[in-house]
């Protein structure tokens, strides 16, 4: 299955490493850098729901022009498919406009249905129930991303579970489907990638690790927090508070993002009314980078793997370093164990 996946995206190298589509932060520079390093980069949903299409058109045009495309990808774009994927929120984005953009630009992968026939359809799930529902639909996705509770991006609030148990149980349920499964959530280095492969994953998707990359479209204050934070278990929480402080409502019930907590969360726990928190949040948003940090108030979405992230290298360095470490670990264990 892992081999099948690599052949669908012929510029990729084993183990298959994906940069997840993160809203705003995953722009064309990050997506192309990851694909250029033998991974698969995704472009995240746009800056605001109402103008996703503008952002997406501009972004895909930029990539089509190949002004910033690494030369290593040139040989693979003759098929007219873009060597990056595009992420959508099915509940929030304008599907007609998104579909039009997909048809026009033909990215290699998208989290959406009814697009260009060559574009592969990826679906992310976070529970066994969601996985089983995919077995019942007639038009199967090409790739399923299994997201553990460790993840930063929006995931299951109450019935999420660590990827160590979740992934193998989903894999058993999906076995007959022959759909490649990727593991996501809590993975940020070669240890996590090699562990995911052992669990049966055909590859991994990482978010937080790429937030701390040179190419991420992210404020320095936010990025500094990703690097600074340790002890992901106690310094990150799943909460809708920061969505609401930013005016984001509408995620379906049962989903929430993981966030590095700061004063907004602490005061919320202490009983400060939302209106007061909102005022202080909006004030903090005028401070620039000082709005983040333990004394800050701004949303700092990140996964539980933040304690494994210690610097801001180029995305290419991240992909190549993690791939090398994962392969070395497996090789080294194999030589001891046998």
Please report whether residue 134 would count as binding its own copies according to CB under 8 A.
no
Cα dihedral 18/19/23/27 (nearest 10)? -120
Scanning 100-108, 165-173, 209-217, 279-287 for contacts with its own copies by CB under 8 A, the matching segment is 165-173
Contact with its own copies (CB under 8 A): which of 92, 307, 313, 321?
A: 307
Contact with its own copies (CB under 8 A): which of 8, 227, 240, 308?
A: 308
The strand pair at 258-260 and 236-238 is best described as antiparallel
CA distances from 195 to 109, 189, 272, 279 (A): 25, 10, 42, 44
Cα dihedral 175/176/180/183 (nearest 10)? -20
Distance of closest approach, residue 149 Cβ to its own copies, in angstroms: 6
For its own copies, the closer CB: 3 or 61: 3
Distance of closest approach, residue 225 Cβ to its own copies, in angstroms: 16
Q: What are the tokens at 190?
A: 């070669």
- Look at the block and give the residue holding tokens 């090398």: 324
**CA 153, CA 309: separation in Å to the nearest integer?**
16
Contact with its own copies (CB under 8 A): which of 185, 203, 291, 296?
A: 185
**CA 113, CA 22: separation in Å to the nearest integer?**
19
Please report whether residue 5 would count as binding its own copies according to CB under 8 A.
no
Contact with its own copies (CB under 8 A): which of 200, 257, 293, 296?
A: 200
CB 173 within 8 A of CB 154: no
Task: List interacting residues with its own copies (CB under 8 A).
Answer: 2-3, 14-15, 127-129, 148-150, 156, 159-166, 168-169, 172, 185-189, 191-192, 194-200, 230-234, 303-305, 307-308, 326-327, 329-331, 333-334, 336-338
């Amino acid at each position: 299955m892992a081999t099948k996946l690599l052949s669908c995206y012929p510029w990729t190298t084993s183990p298959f490493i994906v940069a997840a589509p993160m809203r705003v932060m995953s722009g064309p520079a990050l997506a192309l850098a990851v694909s250029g390093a033998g991974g698969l980069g995704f472009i995240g949903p746009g800056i605001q729901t109402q103008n996703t299409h503008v952002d997406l058109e501009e972004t895909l045009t930029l990539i089509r022009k190949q002004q910033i495309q690494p030369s290593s990808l040139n040989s693979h774009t003759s098929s007219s498919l873009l060597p990056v994927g595009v992420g959508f929120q099915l509940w929030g984005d304008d599907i007609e406009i998104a579909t039009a953009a997909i048809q026009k630009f033909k990215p290699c992968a998208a989290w959406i249905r009814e697009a260009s026939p060559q574009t592969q359809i990826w679906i992310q799930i976070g529970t066994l129930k969601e996985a089983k529902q995919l077995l019942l639909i007639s038009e199967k996705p090409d790739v399923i991303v299994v997201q553990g509770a460790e993840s930063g991006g929006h995931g299951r609030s109450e019935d999420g579970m660590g990827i160590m148990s979740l992934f193998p149980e989903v894999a058993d349920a999906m076995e007959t489907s022959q759909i490649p499964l990727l593991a996501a959530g809590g993975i940020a280095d070669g240890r996590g990638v090699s562990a995911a492969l052992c669990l049966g994953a055909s590859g991994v998707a990482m978010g937080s690790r790429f937030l701390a990359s040179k190419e991420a479209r992210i404020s320095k204050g936010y990025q500094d927090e990703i690097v600074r934070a340790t002890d992901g278990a106690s310094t990150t929480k799943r909460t809708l508070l920061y969505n609401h402080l930013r005016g984001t409502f509408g995620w379906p019930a049962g989903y929430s993002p993981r966030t590095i907590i700061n004063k907004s969360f602490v005061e919320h726990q202490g009983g400060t009314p939302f209106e007061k928190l909102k005022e202080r949040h909006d004030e903090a948003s005028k401070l620039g980078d000082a709005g983040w940090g333990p004394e800050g108030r701004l949303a700092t979405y990140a996964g539980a793997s933040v304690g494994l992230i210690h610097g801001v290298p180029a995305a290419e360095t991240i992909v190549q370093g993690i791939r090398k470490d994962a392969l070395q670990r497996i090789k080294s264990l194999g030589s001891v164990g046998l």
